[in-house]
Amino acid sequence: MSVSDPRPAAAQRTAASKARGTRRRITVLATWMFIVPLLSFFSFSVVAGARTFTKPDYEGAVKQLPTDKPVVEVPAAPQDNGDGLLGNLQQQHFVCSVTGSQLVRIQQRYRTSRFTVGHIDIVSVYGANERDLRSYLGDNGVRCVLVRVATVFFLPFDPHGS
């Protein structure tokens, strides 16, 4: 097929290629606007799920304490080390062994409640953390152990299988 005047035909081809390029850019942009939020939601759900499905190991922590003393549970003192999102999601607790007279002093000053894990009676202390408890009672006779929540690790995605 011969074209008598090649200029209008070339102009039509150029206009068609520009329209295809614009359409392709819009498609790529729309794809990424769908993929990025989807990956963000997936990552957040994995981290939140790792935190949600674990239970604190109070029994393991209490086994490290003397068996003849009362046990109290307090949150860990806040750290200002900038752990980021994972540091804010983790709420650590201590179980501490105290004497009977120290337990009475704690119950007079702070609001408390009791819960049982297995055969162990544990007193939860509200309004104080581990640092507050040590400063109120002094370091003598107070032994605290961190309650282990879980060990979470992520496997890297390696497309090469190495």
Domain ranges of the chain: 1-53, 58-146
Which of 71, 77, 75 has the alpha carbon at shortest distance from 123?
71
Of the given ranges (1-5, 76-80, 97-101, 130-134), which has the lowest mean pLDDT? 1-5
Give the separation between CA 79 and CA 151, rounded to whole angstroms.
Answer: 20
Model confidence pLDDT, tens digit, residues 105-146: 899 999 999 988 878 888 999 988 888 888 888 877 678 888
Evaluate if residue 17 carries a pLDDT over 50.
yes
For residues 62 and 122, is the Cβ–Cβ distance under 8 A?
yes
More confident site: 101 or 77: 101
DSSP secondary structure, 45-79, as one string: HHHHHHHHT----HHHHHTTS-TTS-EEEEEPPP-
Question: How does DSSP classify residue 4?
Answer: S
Evaluate if residue 42 carries a pLDDT over 50.
yes
